[in-house]
Structure 1
Amino acid sequence: MTSAFKTLVILGAFLATGYGLTCRQCVIGLLNTCFFPSDTTCNNATQSCYYGDAQFNSTGAFKLHTRGCLDNDLCEKTLTGSLLGAGYTASFRCCTTDLCNSASSLHLSVVMGTVLTLLCTVWVSQ
């Protein structure tokens, strides 16, 4: 191999290692609203973005939502456990392109909230 070709191969390896997947991050979310959302670049060992739901078995309808980076071995899995004596079920759905786990449902809830606020304002003013 020529020295120029070896240099290109080594440079390509460094560039590939330096690239990471960008995911939407939400440490905690309730009612389809993420508190303090951000974008994060995953480390090189992480291959997927995820969006997950955790539901406490005793409350039924109450769900927590999270988003971020995740290793492929947890993708499309459902885990069960307990936290302070309360049982929970958590599921993780994954995707593999930049910002593929962004919160489209958040936009829907903001629009729906605006419409409901306008309807209530019109109803109260009559």
Structure 2
Amino acid sequence: HFALCLSIFLSFHLTAESLKCNTCSVGMASLCFIGSTAECSTSEPNCFTAVAVFNATNILNIKRKGCMATALCNTTSTGSILTAGYTATQTCCSTDQCNGAVAIQLPLTVALGAALVAICSTFT
């Protein structure tokens, strides 16, 4: 009976320990266009903030927030969107909402317009 009680206790304890993280699907500067909070799963137990900096300007930053697997934490990668190169850095933390506050949210059409203007301005 002790083993059964211990396993039930641990399952409740581990469930109660899930992190709550701020989420942001698309953000620029301190603005978040689609954001909320989420409870992380055991497969993605860390809060993260990812920042993509476009190489042509070093000014335009696109941000994301949410839950992430430990293996992907604190990594840097490179890529390109419409021939504009970028460097993305993913930083993790492990306390409730440690990845910053959910910022001001704007409608998706405003977000897409701002992103398009910012990307197009890198080519002029």
TM-score above 0.5:
yes
Matched, 1:39 2:56: no
Structure 2 residue runs of 5 or longer lacking an equivalent are 105-124
Aligned residues: CA RMSD: 2.0
Rounded to whole Å, the distance in 2 between the matches of 1:16 and 1:85 is: 48
2:27 counterpart (29, 41, 49) = 29
- Over 3 Å counting, the alpha-carbon distance change for 1:60 and 1:17 in structure 2 is same
- 1:13 is aligned to 10
- Over 3 Å counting, the alpha-carbon distance change for 1:46 and 1:67 in structure 2 is same
1:54 counterpart (42, 52, 55) = 52
Structure 1 residue runs of 5 or longer lacking an equivalent are 108-126
Contact 1:17 1:44 (8 Å CA) reproduced: no
Matched, 1:89 2:54: no
Query: 1:8: how far off?
Result: 1.3
Larger helix fraction of residues: 1
TM alignment of 1:64-75, pairs within 5 A: 64-75=62-73
> Is the partner of 1:98 in helix, strand or coil?
coil
Contact 1:48 1:71 (8 Å CA) reproduced: yes
Rounded to whole Å, the distance in 2 between the matches of 1:29 and 1:83 is: 16
Q: Percent identity?
A: 34
The code of the aligned residue for 1:83 comes to I
Query: 1:47: how far off?
Result: 2.3
Give the structure-1-normalised TM-score: 0.71
Choose 1 or 2 for highest CA Rg: 1
> Is the partner of 1:10 in helix, strand or coil?
helix
Contact 1:50 1:95 (8 Å CA) reproduced: yes
Query: 1:7: how far off?
Result: 2.2
Rounded to whole Å, the distance in 2 between the matches of 1:10 and 1:103 is: 35
